[in-house]
Chain A
Amino acid sequence: MANLILETRGLTKSFGAVTAAADVNIKINEKEIIGVIGSNGAGKTTFINMVTGYLKPSTGTILFRGRDITGFSPMQVTKAGICRSFQVAQLFPELTTLENMLVAHSMLSKKRLSIQRPLKSKANVNAAMEALTGYGIESYGDGPVTTLPQGVRKLLDIAMAMVGSPALLLLDEPTSGVAIEEKFALMDTVMGAVNRSGATNLFVEHDMEIVSRYATRVIAFYDGRVIADGPTAEALANPEVKEFIVGSELHRQQSEGGEHAGN
C-alpha cells in the first residue's frame, strides 16, 4: 500500500447560492501524477485554492500526511510542504528573472531573511542560475520579467514553486496561454524536473492529449463534483466524462485550432 499524502473529506465550498465544490473526497498517494480535468467553472481551481489555503472550505477537512491543515494560510501550507503554480503566472514583474528566482530561493530556504548579507552573493546567484538551468530558462536571467514570453513566465512560476522541494506540487493549468506547439516541450521540462525532485504532482489541464501522455491517474470535475477518479485510460473512457468534458474539450480544441489556422 502506497503512502497517503493528501486526503480531503467532504470538502465543500459555496459562494452564496453557488456551490463551487460539493463533497469532494480525494485520496492522493505519494509519487502519483494526477491530471485534473473539467470544463470551466467545474471546481478545479477552487479545489487547488482550498488545498493551498487561498480559500477556506465551507465544510470538510484537508489532511496532509495525516495532519489536519484545514484553514491554514497559504504561508502555513507552503511551510507544510505544498507548493503551487498559478493559471496566470504570479511573478514580481519589475524584478529580473534571476532576481525572481533569488527571492524565491531566500524565502523558501527556511532560514530567516537576512538583513545585511547580500541576496546576490555568488553562492546564491549560482544556486538560482542552476535552478533556472533546470528549466532551460537561464538565458533570460538578466531580463525584466515583463519582457518574457508567456511560456517562460509559466516555467519561471513553476520553477519558483519548486525551489523549496515541496512534497506535493499543484499546477494550475501549466500550459494555459502557451502556444499549442510549445505545450509538449513545456510539459516535458516540467515533468522532468518534478520527477527528479520526487514530488507528488497534480496538474489541471484542458488538453486531453497532454493529460493522457503525462498523468497516471485522472480526476474529473463537473459542476463542483468529482464524476470520475481512476487510472487515466479508464477515467477518460467514463461515459459521463466523455459526455461532459472530453466532448466539450474536443470542440474547444477544434475552435482553438481553427483560430490558429486563421492566424
Chain B
Amino acid sequence: MHIADKTPRNLCIALCVLLAFGTIMPNWFAFLATVSMAKGMVVIGLIVLMRTGLVSFGQGLYYCLGGYTVGIAGKYLGITDAVGILFVSAFVAGCVGALLGLLLCRYREIFFAMLTMALSMILFGMLVKSDMLGSTDGFNVAHPTLLGWNPGPEGLSIMIYSLACLIAFLIVFFVHRYFQSGMGFAGESIRENEIRVEYLGISPRRVIFYKYVLAAILAAIGGSLTALVAGHVDPEMAYWTTSGEFVFVALLGGTGHVVAAFIGAFLYELIRTLAFDLTPYTWQMILGITLLMVILFLPKGLWSLLTAYKTGRG
C-alpha cells in the first residue's frame, strides 16, 4: 500500500548529472540552462499559489526586485559574494512580500491576479523614472565572487550554473516535501472549499499569506540568479509580459510536480530561442500556438504525459 517516494533519490542523481555535465557544456548552453533554472524557481513559487487556486500575474515584481537587489548590492554596497547576495535578495523579497501579502491575502481569483499585476507595474514605473538606476536601460551588475573565489570572466557562467543547480536542488527538495505536508494540502483544500477550511479552524488568509511570501522569496532568488548570469538588470523584469511568461511556463509544465517547472522553463527558453531563429518577426506567434496546443490537448501541462505513462504502466 505504501509507495516509497523516489523523488529525493532521483533528484540527487539529477544534481550529479547536471553538475558533471556542467564541466563539458559550452558557455551559451550553461547560460540557457541557468536562465531556465532561475525562471523555473519563479514558476515553482507560482505553482505554490496556483495549487491554492490563485494565479499571480505579478511575480515579475519579485523577479525584478531580486535582480535589482543584486545590482544595487554590488554597485552601492560592495557586496559581490553570490551566496551572500542571494540571502540579501531573499530577505528583501520576504519583507516586501510580507507587506503586500497582508493586502493580497484578502483577494481571490481575478482580483488577486489584477492586483498582483498592478503592483508589479508600479515597480516598473518607479524604475523607469529613476535615473540613478539607469531608467529604461537598467545597469550592469558587478562581477560576483563565490566565498572569496573570483572565477574571472571565463569561469563565471559555469560558477553561476553550478550554484543555480545546487539552489534548484535545495528548492525542489524543500518544495516537494512542502507539497506533501499539511501546509501543502492546506493550499489545495482552500482551492477546493474555503468555507470548509474555516470550519476546520484554519484561517485561509493566513495560509495564503505564507504561500505568497514563499512565492516572493523564490521569485527573488530566480531574479538574482538571472541578474548574476546575465550581468545586467533592467525594468523589463517587472513588466507584465515577464510575469505572463511565468504563467505560460507554469501552464506548459503543469502544476503536478515541482520538477515540471524546470522542464517547462527549459522548453520555453528552447522554443523561444528556436522560434526567434526561425521567424525573427513572428516568433510570438509560434509561442502562442504552442500555448494554445498545450491548453487544448494537455490542460494539466506536460507533466500529465508522465503521469499518464506511469498509470498506464502501473
Contacts and interface: CB of A to CB of B under 8 A. Distances in A.
Measured as residues with beta carbon below 8 angstroms from the partner, the interface class of chain A is: 35 or more
A117 B202 CA distance: 18
B188 A116 contact: no
B189 A95 contact: yes
B180 A106 contact: no
Contact of A160 (B184, B185, B200): B200
B196 A119 contact: no
Contacts of A122: 2
A117 B182 contact: yes
Interface of B: 2, 174, 177-178, 180-186, 188-189, 192-193, 195-203, 207
A27 interface: no
A87 B174 CA distance: 39
B199 A83 contact: yes
A75 B185 contact: no
Interface string A101-131: 0111011101001111111101000000000
Dominant SS at the B interface? helix
Contact of B199 (A52, A102, A113, A117): A52
Contacts of B202: 75, 107, 113
A119 B181 contact: yes
B211 to A, nearest CB: 10
The 6 closest A-B pairs by CB, nearest first: A106-B182, A107-B200, A92-B192, A78-B201, A113-B182, A74-B198
Nearest to A93: B192
A99 interface: yes
Contacts of B196: 90-92, 160
A117 B180 CA distance: 8
Contacts of B197: 107
A92 B189 contact: yes
A219 to B, nearest CB: 22
A234 interface: no
A84 B198 CA distance: 11
A88 B86 CA distance: 49
11 contacts: A78-B201, A84-B199, A90-B193, A104-B200, A107-B182, A113-B183, A114-B181, A116-B177, A116-B178, A119-B184, A161-B199
A237 B191 CA distance: 47
B201 A107 contact: yes
B206 to A, nearest CB: 9
A238 interface: no
Given A75-B198, A95-B192, A120 B183 contact: no
A23 B186 CA distance: 38
A26 B246 CA distance: 55
Contacts of B200: 78, 103-104, 107-108, 160, 164
